[in-house]
A = this chain, B = another copy of it.
Amino acid sequence: MSEIADRGQKTAFQVRKAFQNSPSIEWSGSAGAVYPAVRRLVAAGLLDAVAQDDKRATKHLFLTPRGRAALKAWSRDCLRSVSVGIDPFRLRSGIWLNSGDLRDESFIARLRAALEERLAAEIEDQKSEDAVEAIRIELNIRLLRMRIEWLDEAIEAAAP
């Protein structure tokens, strides 16, 4: 819904593409997720699907007034907003420290390289994307820099 609200009329297919292009590997944007989700949102009166007059059966999606209200309520849910969510780095951090991974030169090198690579990719993306996406990328860049900082300190502390 955020995708549709921010960028105006879109097809379910374009929503799929947006998810597939996003850095998140947690939501793949599969057809089997998007089309049923759109159907449910239309049934719930949160989305309007306007059939276009072409032979591709294209449908443009719009938020209904109730849809806009629901999106606003979701975005202004402060308790949810400040929750950890699912942080793959944080989830593994305890294991790294506990298992001595942070004294393994080869693992450290791979992890830091992965962080730097991700950071470079995000900085590159930030140039090309629109304003809404640029904000998300900015927060992701800060997250990655925080992780790098933490990693360096944790390695220092774990050193023999």
- Chain A residues with CB under 8 Å of chain B are 2, 5-6, 23-27, 71-72, 74-76, 78-99, 101, 107, 110-111, 113-115, 117-118, 131-133, 135-136, 138-140, 142-144, 146-147, 149-150, 154
29 contacts between A and B (CB under 8 A): A2-B91, A2-B95, A6-B94, A24-B83, A24-B86, A25-B83, A26-B83, A26-B84, A71-B95, A74-B92, A75-B96, A75-B99, A76-B110, A78-B110, A78-B113, A80-B88, A81-B111, A81-B114, A82-B111, A82-B117, A86-B86, A90-B139, A93-B135, A94-B131, A94-B133, A135-B154, A139-B147, A142-B146, A143-B143
